[in-house]
Amino acid sequence: MKNEYIPYKAVISSIQKESFDTNTYKVVFDDEKIGNSFDYKQGQFAEISLLGIGEAPISITSTPSRKGFLEFSIRAAGNLTDKIHELKVGDSLFVRGPYGNSFPYDEIKGKNLYFIAGGIGLPPLRSLINMVMDNRKDFGHVKILYGAKTPDEVCFKGELAEWKKVPDSEVWITVDKPCDGWGCSVGVVTELWKETEVHSENAVAFVCGPPIMIKFVLMELEKSGFKDRDIVMTLERYMKCGVGKCGHCNIGEKFVCIDGPVFTRHEVKAMPRQENVF
């Protein structure tokens, strides 16, 4: 019987600073066999540990179509993630997974795609975005709408510029508080509706971000005519085990860790009212 709770050592091969509190860590499993058997899908997450500090679920931001490593974008937000931010290239952490369901892929071929993210909500979508970009001809128009508090909190600045250059793809960025020389929009992410058109026809929207942002984005998507089944969200909940046992991420009869983290708005609406899931 496999012991799902045992994590495996992985070595940090590079660290990319994304913003003042977020880094992207590229890691490679110490044991090549473990690395080869770590077969993940876009939208899944892993449990990341530092022995003696603790463990937390982190979405895999790298893309299954690019093999040999995993990437995690981690914000220093608590005991464990603060300690991870002290690590350097060559240091190790421990990983187990992959866990959870995944973003639809074959089902969205030929469709126009909207990726709408706020702040640290972009990393969970990045896995799918890059998969789409790697197979660009299989999809319709792609539009990425991204909001952050400040220019400094915009993740994947280099990649956003690259995605913008891909034919038939658009990237729109807005910040709440601009700095001097900021060339993009100002305001919350829904302000972008005024600057670019959002059409629900043959389209699927992927949404990830802080609860308040999601709430307003859902209202705008509804106004734009998006059906609940065409709005895909990845939910966040406090988790311990990641394998449907510890109970922390329960919403109704669902476990965010195994039934999710990816849910359509249709599925979210069926969740218990009092749980405040948008």
Which residues lie near other proteins (CB under 8 A)? 1-7, 9, 51-56, 77-78, 81, 92, 94, 210-211, 236-238, 240-241, 243-248, 250, 252-253, 255, 258, 272, 274-277
Report the nearest approach of other proteins to the CB of residue 274 (Å): 5
Q: What is the CA radius of gyration of the chain?
A: 18
Report the nearest approach of other proteins to the CB of residue 78 (Å): 4
Q: Which residues contact 56 (CB under 8 A, 6 or more apart)?
A: 47, 48, 78, 80, 81, 239
Report the nearest approach of other proteins to the CB of residue 98 (Å): 12
**Shorter beta-carbon distance to other proteins: residue 96 or 111:** 96
Residue pair 131/64 in contact by the 8 Å Cβ criterion: yes
**Shorter beta-carbon distance to other proteins: residue 188 or 246:** 246
Tokens at 245, concatenated:
């046992």
Q: Among 108, 147, 165, which residue's Cα sits nearest to residue 131?
A: 108
Query: Which helix (H) or strand (E) is 216 found in, with range?
Result: helix 211-223
Report the nearest approach of other proteins to the CB of residue 45 (Å): 14
**Shorter beta-carbon distance to other proteins: residue 163 or 255:** 255
Tokens at 276, concatenated:
């405040």
**Shorter beta-carbon distance to other proteins: residue 113 or 251:** 251
Angle at 38 between CA 8 and CA 234, to 5 degrees: 100
Going from the C-alpha of 191 to that of each of 11, 145, 186, 195, the distances in angstroms are 41, 10, 8, 7
Report the nearest approach of other proteins to the CB of residue 251 (Å): 8
**Shorter beta-carbon distance to other proteins: residue 5 or 182:** 5
**Shorter beta-carbon distance to other proteins: residue 70 or 120:** 120
Q: Among 25, 3, 4, which residue's Cα sits nearest to residue 14?
A: 25
Report the nearest approach of other proteins to the CB of residue 236 (Å): 7
**Shorter beta-carbon distance to other proteins: residue 91 or 191:** 91
The rounded distance, in Å, linking the Cα atoms of 124 and 72 is 9
Residue pair 193/185 in contact by the 8 Å Cβ criterion: no
Report the nearest approach of other proteins to the CB of residue 219 (Å): 19
DSSP code for 181? T
Q: Among 157, 167, 86, which residue's Cα sits nearest to residue 126?
A: 157
Q: Among 32, 22, 26, which residue's Cα sits nearest to residue 14?
A: 26
